[in-house]
C-alpha cells in the first residue's frame, strides 16, 4: 500500500470509472488522498479516462486501472484483492427505450459478482449505487424516504425500477447471508445532473442536452428531484467512511424541478446559447396516446403531473451531507455540454 506523508492510505475500488458518476467518485477520492483503483470494460479506455480525471485533479500514481466486466467473472478478484473499500457504481443497463433487452439479469448478476469478489478479498465495506427508483411510494405523489421499497407491478415498462430494486434487494440479502463478514451501504440518487467530463453521461443529463439541441419541441408534465453528480460523489465517500453508515440506505436528492422549470432556467441563464430550447407544453392526452405505440412515452405516462419528493433528511442528519441548489446543477450541466462540444 502507498503512503501519504507517512500515513497508510486506504485503497478504494470504484467500479465503472469511465462513467458519469464513477469518474466523479474517483475524483473525490483522489482529492481526499486515497489510493484508487477503477474498473473499465476495456483497458484501451485508460488513457482517455485518466485525461478526463486529470482535468479536475492530478491522479499521479494513485490511480490504477483494471479490466473487469459486470457480465463476466474474469478480472474481479484481481481488481479487489487487497482493497479496503469498494464503491460499486457501474451498471450494465442501457437507458431509455430498452427494445426488448434484458436489463434485470445483468443488473442483478453484476452486483452479485462485485459483492462475491469483495467478500473473498476481505473488503471492509461496499457502497453500492442504487436509485430512488428502488424507493418509490405506492401512492403517486406521496413523499418517500429510505424505509420505502418500490412495489413492482408485472408490466414491461417497469423494467428499470424492477432492475434497480431487485439488484439492491439482492445485495442486502447477500450481506445478511455473509453473517457480518462485510458491511454494505447503499446510495439512492434521484435524477443526476452536473458537469459532464466526457461522452459517458447519464440519460438524465440527456434531458438537458435534448432541450439545448431543440429536440424537445414540447414538454410533458414530468419532473424529478435533482442531485448534482459532485454532491453525489461526496455522499458516496461519506457513506464509505462513516461508522454509522454501515447497514443503511441513503437517499441523495435535492430540489424538484419540472421539465418546464428546466427549460425556463436554460432560456433565462444561457441567453443566445439556449435559443433552441422550447417552453411549450405537451398535452397529457398526447403522451398517453403516444404511449400506446412508443415505449419511452409509455414510461412517462404514469408520472404525468406527479410530484414525488424524496427526502435526503437521513443523509443530512447522519452524514452531514447537503445538496447544492438544483438550478446551479442544471446550468453547470448545460455549460459543460456546450463547452465540450457535446450538443
Boundaries of every domain in the chain:
3-339
Question: Measured between alpha carbons, how far is 60 from 266 in angstroms, rounded to an integer?
Answer: 37
Query: What does the pLDDT read at residue 3?
Result: 44
Considering only residues 155 and 85, tell me which one the structure prediction assigns the higher pLDDT: 85
Q: What mean pLDDT comes out for the span 299-317?
A: 94
Q: What mean pLDDT comes out for the span 301-309?
A: 92
Query: What does the pLDDT read at residue 8?
Result: 66
Query: What does the pLDDT read at residue 158?
Result: 72
Q: What mean pLDDT comes out for the span 276-304?
A: 90
Active-site hit among 2, 124, 156, 164: 164
Q: Is 259's pLDDT higher than 80? A: yes
Under 8 Å between Cβ of 68 and 79: yes
Query: What does the pLDDT read at residue 203?
Result: 86
In this predicted structure, which of 64-68, 128-132, 148-152, 200-204 has the lowest mean pLDDT?
200-204
273-301 burial string, b = 16+ CB within 10 Å, else e?
A: ebeebbeeebeeeebeebbeeeeebbbbb
Q: What mean pLDDT comes out for the span 9-19?
A: 94
Residue 213 among the catalytic residues: no
Got the DSSP string for 16-60?
-TTSHHHHHHHHHHHHTT-EEEEEES-GGGHHHHHHHHHTTS--T
Half-sphere exposure of residue 135, counting CA atoms within 13 Å on the CB side? 27
Q: Is 313's pLDDT higher than 60? A: yes
42-83 per-position pLDDT tens digit: 999 999 999 999 999 999 999 999 999 999 999 999 999 999
Considering only residues 289 and 96, tell me which one the structure prediction assigns the higher pLDDT: 289
Query: What does the pLDDT read at residue 199?
Result: 87
Crossing angle (nearest 10°) for helices 203-213 and 259-270: 60
CB-based contacts of 111-116 (< 8 A; 24+ apart in sequence): 111/167, 111/168, 111/170, 111/171, 112/170, 112/174, 113/70, 113/73, 113/76, 114/15, 114/70, 114/76, 114/80, 114/86, 114/88, 115/88, 115/171, 115/174, 115/175, 115/182, 115/184, 116/76, 116/174
Q: Is 232's pLDDT higher than 80? A: yes
Question: Which residues are CB-neighbours of 167 under 8 A, at least 6 positions away?
Answer: 107, 108, 110, 111, 130
Q: Which three cell numbers stand for residue 130?
A: 442504487
Q: Is 96's pLDDT higher than 50? A: no
Q: What mean pLDDT comes out for the span 188-214?
A: 94
SS3 state at 186: strand
Query: What does the pLDDT read at residue 92?
Result: 65
Query: What does the pLDDT read at residue 296?
Result: 77
* Average pLDDT in the chain: 92
Q: What mean pLDDT comes out for the span 267-277?
A: 96
Query: What does the pLDDT read at residue 6?
Result: 47
Query: What does the pLDDT read at residue 153?
Result: 72
Which percentage of the chain shows pLDDT scores above 90? 80
Backbone angles phi, psi at 309, to 5 degrees: -105, 115
Q: Is 152's pLDDT higher than 50? A: yes
Q: What mean pLDDT comes out for the span 218-223?
A: 96
At the topology level, CATH places domain 3-339 in: Rossmann fold (3.40.50)
Amino acid at each position: 500500500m502507498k503512503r501519504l506523508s507517512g500515513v497508510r492510505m486506504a485503497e478504494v475500488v470504484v467500479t465503472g470509472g469511465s462513467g458519469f458518476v464513477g469518474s466523479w467518485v474517483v475524483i473525490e477520492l483522489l482529492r481526499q488522498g486515497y489510493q484508487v483503483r477503477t474498473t473499465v470494460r476495456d483497458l484501451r479506455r485508460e488513457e482517455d479516462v485518466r485525461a478526463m480525471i486529470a482535468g479536475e485533479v492530478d491522479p499521479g500514481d494513485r490511480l490504477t486501472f483494471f479490466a473487469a466486466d459486470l457480465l463476466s467473472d474474469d478480472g474481479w478478484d484481481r481488481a479487489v484483492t487487497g482493497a479496503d473499500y469498494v464503491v460499486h457504481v457501474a451498471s450494465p443497463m442501457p437507458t431509455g427505450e430498452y427494445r426488448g433487452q434484458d436489463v434485470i439479469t445483468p443488473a442483478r448478476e453484476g452486483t452479485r459478482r462485485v459483492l462475491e469478489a469483495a467478500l473473498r478479498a476481505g473488503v471492509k465495506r461496499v457502497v453500492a449505487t442504487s436509485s430512488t427508483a428502488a424507493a418509490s411510494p405506492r401512492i403517486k405523489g406521496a413523499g418517500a424516504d429510505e424505509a420505502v421499497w418500490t412495489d413492482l407491478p408485472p408490466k414491461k415498462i417497469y423494467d428499470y425500477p424492477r432492475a434497480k430494486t431487485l439488484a439492491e434487494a439482492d445485495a442486502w440479502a447477500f450481506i445478511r447471508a455473509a453473517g457480518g463478514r462485510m458491511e454494505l451501504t447503499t446510495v439512492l440518487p434521484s435524477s443526476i445532473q452536473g458537469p459532464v467530463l466526457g461522452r459517458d453521461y447519464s440519460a438524465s443529463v440527456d434531458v438537458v442536452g435534448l432541450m439545448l439541441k431543440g429536440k424537445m419541441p414540447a414538454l410533458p408534465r414530468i419532473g424529478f428531484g435533482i442531485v448534482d453528480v459532485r454532491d453525489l460523489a461526496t455522499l458516496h465517500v461519506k457513506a464509505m467512511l462513516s461508522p454509522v453508515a454501515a447497514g443503511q440506505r441513503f437517499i441523495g436528492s435535492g430540489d424538484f424541478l419540472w421539465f418546464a422549470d428546466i427549460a425556463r432556467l436554460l432560456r433565462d441563464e444561457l441567453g443566445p446559447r439556449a435559443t433552441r430550447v422550447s417552453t411549450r407544453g405537451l398535452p397529457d392526452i398526447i403522451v398517453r396516446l403516444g404511449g400506446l405505440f412508443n415505449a419511452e412515452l409509455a414510461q412517462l405516462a404514469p408520472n404525468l403531473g406527479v410530484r414525488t419528493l424524496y427526502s435526503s433528511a437521513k443523509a443530512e442528519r447522519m452524514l452531514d451531507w447537503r445538496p447544492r441548489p438544483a438550478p446551479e446543477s442544471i446550468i453547470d450541466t448545460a455549460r459543460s455540454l456546450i463547452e465540450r462540444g457535446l450538443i
